[in-house]
Amino acid sequence: MGNHEYGIGGNGQRQTTANMSMEIINKMAELKINLIKEDLVCPIIKEQKICFYGIDDIWKNKPEFNNLPEKDNSYPLIFLTHNPDGILYYPKNKKQPDLTLSGHTHGGQVWLPFIGPVGNAGIKLDKKYYRGQQIYNNLPIYISVGVGESGGAIRFLSRPEISIIEIR
């Protein structure tokens, strides 16, 4: 879940739209789509165990990592966080993610050459964490530009994207 599902904007400080979280949770359940929220899910894909750990939106709830195992390197782990700042909460005493997937920033929406994003997505991380593949404290993180907008239907040098990530 992200801040817009909860109707939260402006760095968690104001309500921007109706809280649609329960409606979305119910629809996902109806469609049999698992919501990975404060949970570790480990499907077997091509005879390989791969685990996903997702947190709730950090502006709504402080993340909990109770269901995350200690340092077990026998399987790859992908950390899911709507806001790239979720990586700031990741505990050092737990298994570190092999990859973090995030969004929230819309790639800056308006991106100027040599300057970067014009707006402010309310994240604590540096502007380089608004899009693409980055490294934070030796942890790989991919921040998707996504397909939506926030604060108006405008984009400049920040084309909408659906990311396809091949994991080997």
**pLDDT (tens digit per residue) in 109-151:** 888 999 888 878 888 998 889 899 999 999 999 999 888 877 7
What pLDDT, on the 0 to 100 scale, is given for residue 11?
A: 65
The domain tally of the chain equals 1
Closest CA to 51 of 18, 89, 80: 80
18 in a structural domain: no
Q: Are 115 and 157 spatial neighbours (Cβ–Cβ below 8 Å)?
A: no
- Separation CA 133–CA 107 (nearest Å): 12
77: domain range? Answer: 36-143
Three-state SS string over 64-111 comes to CCCCCCCCCCCCCEEEECCCHHHHHHCCCCCCCCCEEEECCCHHHCEE
Q: Are 143 and 134 spatial neighbours (Cβ–Cβ below 8 Å)?
A: yes
pTM of the complete model: 0.90
6 in a structural domain: no
122 in a structural domain: yes
Look at residue 167 and tell me whether its pLDDT is greater than 90. no
104 in a structural domain: yes
- Separation CA 168–CA 153 (nearest Å): 36
- Where is pLDDT greater, at 100 or 126? 100
Alpha helices per DSSP H over the chain: 21-30
**pLDDT (tens digit per residue) in 27-71:** 999 999 989 989 899 999 889 999 999 999 999 889 989 888 777
131 in a structural domain: yes
Q: Are 60 and 8 spatial neighbours (Cβ–Cβ below 8 Å)?
A: yes
Q: Are 78 and 104 spatial neighbours (Cβ–Cβ below 8 Å)?
A: no
Confidence of residue 26 (pLDDT cuts 50, 70, 90): very high
